[in-house]
Amino acid sequence: MALWAGRFSKEIDKQVNDFNSSISFDNRMFEQDIRGSIAHATMLAQQGILSPADRDAIVAGLTGILADLKEGSLLFDPDAEDIHMFVEAELTARIGDAGKRLHTARSRNDQVALDMKLYFHDEIGALLGTCGQLIEVLLEKAREHLDTVMPGYTHLQRGQPTTFAHHLMAYVQMFLRDMDRLQDCDRRILHTMPLGSGAGFGTTYPIDREMTAQLLGFAGISQNSIDGVSDRDYALELASALSILMMHLSRFSEEIILWCSWEFQFLELDDAFSTGSSIMPQKKNPDVAELIRGKTGRVYGDLMTLLTMMKGLPLAYNKDMQEDKEALFDAVDTAKLCLSTFLPMFQTAKVRKDNMRQAAAKGFINATDCADYLAKKGVPFRDAYQVSGKLVAFCIAHGKTLEELELPQLQQFHPLFAEDVYSAIALETCVKERKSAGGPAPEQVQKQIAWAKDVLASYQQAAGV
């Protein structure tokens, strides 16, 4: 019989029990559930609500259950309604009536709210650790490719020259923001402890919620008992932060897919992170990157599940909110899997520097530098822009690049062209002279790397990873 069955005259229908049950997916929160229960029992005894003997029996029993679950000698009961009922039933079976007193002054509503906050705090720590490792890999690759010239693109058309290091540092910025969002979400998770809200309307027992919060590492307690059990903002925030993180991974994956194609050949993935075709023997497919790109939509779906679930719920707790767990578990699991797989895939990839340089030479991506050359000699930029555009049209018509034009040909378009134009429009010069803060000049990228390294260290220190 269910622990809550006193009001009922018959057993719950088996199909309804299975439909209602969450033990199959919320059992992963067993450590957090037991941590919360130990803190709750400790507080109850401090307040004289539990005897010291009952407290000691409860703590010892819960500690034993935790150890047995970790080592696998105790299995979850598939007939239990949820992880909370499973732990309480197992505790009562082991220590008797003292186990029945554990639930004094609390409800499963505030218990599950607590478990989720503790669980996702732990998961954010793991995400921050892997995200930090990925940033470290990107920083190392950037250091190696400060002088690796490649085309910079807009509209997927060759635009202006940049370096592979500069390109990678754009992703470093994205992932640093992801870490910042995750830490900000975690700060709000630990800002308020919901336990003690009861079913949503407090309790008549003289509990000390601040003590429980301190034992569990929370900054404070929820200030309204209804909000304490009905708040899932942190779940929405976390799913949103993970969606943005996945979007960044997906954009990066899309570029890797392009770069690995024969049309680009900027990158070659290691065989360990590629697959072949069942019918085309020449294929080397970037399936890992493609799967990450595809799984991004899955995380978006998890966010939409949570938003849709919450949008019409009256206060306080509703059973609909049981659907929060599978969606958020999936979002976290997917992001962790994608991060941990993307990291070694990119770390072991071969950068084809020569192909990047050749592509940069063919796209007239120094046309702006040609216009800037004239502008620095006093020609209004818009006039210089038109001259450069006409030169590009001339080169296309005659199968040449700007560097291949002879000086007399250049001077036909403007008399201020001189011998120094060739050094001014050389790709390496184009990159090195882009010294504006945040630009692709190697000296600027080195500053970006140093800045990012300091920011990453501060995030890692704050997260303890």
Q: Which residues are catalytic?
A: 155, 277
Comparing C-alpha atoms, which of 380, 375, 364, 366 is closest to residue 417?
A: 375
| Cα–Cα distance, 460 to 132 (Å, whole number) | 7
Give the number of residues written for the chain: 465
What are the tokens at 398?
């005659």
Cis check for the bond before 397: say yes or no (omega within 30 of 0). Answer: no
* Paired tokens of 277: 């075709």
Q: Are strands 350-351 and 267-268 parallel, antiparallel or unpaired?
A: antiparallel
**Crossing angle for the helix pair 30-46 and 108-144, nearest 10 degrees?**
130
| Secondary structure (DSSP) of 14-81 | HHHHHHH--HHHHGGGHHHHHHHHHHHHHHHHHTTSS-HHHHHHHHHHHHHHHHHHHHTSS---TTSS
Q: Measuring CA to CA, which residue among 64, 49, 62 is closest to residue 205?
A: 49
Q: How far apart are CA 430 and CA 200, in angstroms?
A: 64
Sign of torsion, CA 300 306 308 311? Answer: negative
Structure tokens at 10: 């018959």
Strand ranges for 348-406 from DSSP E: 350-351
- What is the chain's alpha carbon radius of gyration, rounded to the nearest angstrom? 30
Q: Cα separations (Å) of 399 from 159, 195, 355, 392, 423?
A: 19, 74, 20, 10, 21
DSSP string, 85-142: HHHHHHHHHHHTHHHHTTTTT--HHHHHHHHHHHHHHHHHHHHHHHHHHHHHHHHHHH
Distance (Å) of CA 272 to CA 284, 287, 342, 348, 444:
11, 11, 12, 9, 35
Beta bridge partners of residue 153, listed in sequence order: 158
Q: 350 φ, ψ to 5°?
A: -95, 125
* CA dihedral sign of residues 192, 194, 195, 196: positive
